[in-house]
Structure 1
Amino acid sequence: MTKNNLRDEFPKNIKETLAKRVSYFCSNPKCRKMTIGPHTDANKSVSVGVAAHISAASPGGPRYDATLTSSDRKSIKNGIWLCQNCGREVDIDEIRFTKSILEAWKREAESLVVKKTIEEKYKSSKKVISKIQDIEEMYEYFNEYYIANFDHFFSFNDAMVSLRKHYYLHSPIMTQINTLNELISKVLEEFRKIKLDINPKTSKLIKKYLDTLKFTYEDDGIGFYNNRLERFFENMIDTKITRIQIIKELSNCI
């Protein structure tokens, strides 16, 4: 289209918004071509998209509506993002590509992006929840270990006295605890990436679960004293009911 002073062109911000609302894909349901990509110059990108007017920008143009004001014609409501080929096609054959058809394309394209965004958020949260369930399975293993080795003691303190006395017998389990910590670190990293994008309730539950896994311990730094294993078991026992409840609530979010 030849530009002239009589045309009600879209401002730059409207064009950018139209493109972003469909993730830079052409809104034609039979096309859906990606309209942006890398340029050979690393500082540039290539765009083959166009912010097309649903009702023409000037008299005599395709689907021109004389009842619209100048502001209406260059508003986002009157725009649709298309690839250059589809943009030209809809203007050449305005009888076929009516205003109602283009408006339907626009609604469908934007709805599709929303749907895909929701699906991606769901997949991301489901992946993290699945790994949290893996963490809980490992905690069940440690719980069974504790029951087999310490549950016969009258109190937790008595059990930990025995642990300190025979620490060398239980030290191999630290390897499994280190494996658990590696998994927790991976989940924390993944959660940081998605926490602002997923359902707020799910995000809150995941954070609450991961917070229950935190505990402090003492270490003299020279190998004579370290109560990490004691504090691990203590935290495991103290948070068990809370963790199980959170897991149940997270299962309902999948």
Structure 2
Amino acid sequence: MPRDNFSSKTIEQLAKSVGYQCVRPGCAQITHFYDTLTGSMKSAARASHDSAASGGGPRYDASLTTEQRKSYENGAHLCVKCAVIVDIDVERFPPGIISGWQRKAVEIRNQLMRSTSPLQGINMREAFSATELFIKKCNSFMIDYYESCIRIKDLNSLHDFLRECYGYRPSHDFYGQYPHIVNKQLQIINTLESISKLFFQRDIRLVWNDRDNYRRYLSQPIRFPRRDDEIAINEILKKNIELLKLRYDDYCNYLRELKDIVYNKLTPINLMEW
């Protein structure tokens, strides 16, 4: 089967639109440099397909046309490392994720360009205060891992927080301003969205209230009158428990790193070198 590869023009559009930086939240690796010896630009990047360029590839969608698979909307500009990761760990990066990164990266870059406050004029105190507010909001819904399951104390607060984060941009009162803080906040938001989607299945109820009044995801197999139902649902349960644990670990790591920046007062990176 022939591959529906991006054209040279589309590859360049993906890279230029995000300033030659990897669009994966938390990475932002510069992907191009100027070689003074040859007088040309060198690249360490990949134009990655959201839906694979050919059958059998990661996230392949047979319903797309050749033009759609080769289009800008089906791509993302990633560094080599991130391009490999998203293609070998497809469960963690399902369809729509990496093309969504591209859109968000372009949106954030355009907003920063239109902002009345230039990057070099960022006030550290304001940035850290906004980030502290973000952390406080994360703490409000009380998510934890207890007795081999994920549980959430205040589900409404989580949903309110995710609605508030929709279209995350500099006008939000908890926007961290510094690029590395913003990327960490985006990682947390994306992870919480994944947890929320996994936590609730529309076709099956796997969530219940425990004795501490937490909303808790089932951690034990379920018995059903029909054997086929039992096997199918418990397969979903097993898979979701594993994914939820991975997402929860990611969330804890990202939040801890963000707290280290704010509460240990780590020196922000030099914006002119970032």
Judge same fold: TM > 0.5, yes or no: no
Q: TM-score, normalised by structure 2?
A: 0.41
Point out the structure with the larger helix share. Answer: 1
Q: TM-score, normalised by structure 1?
A: 0.44
Point out the structure with the larger strand share. Answer: 2
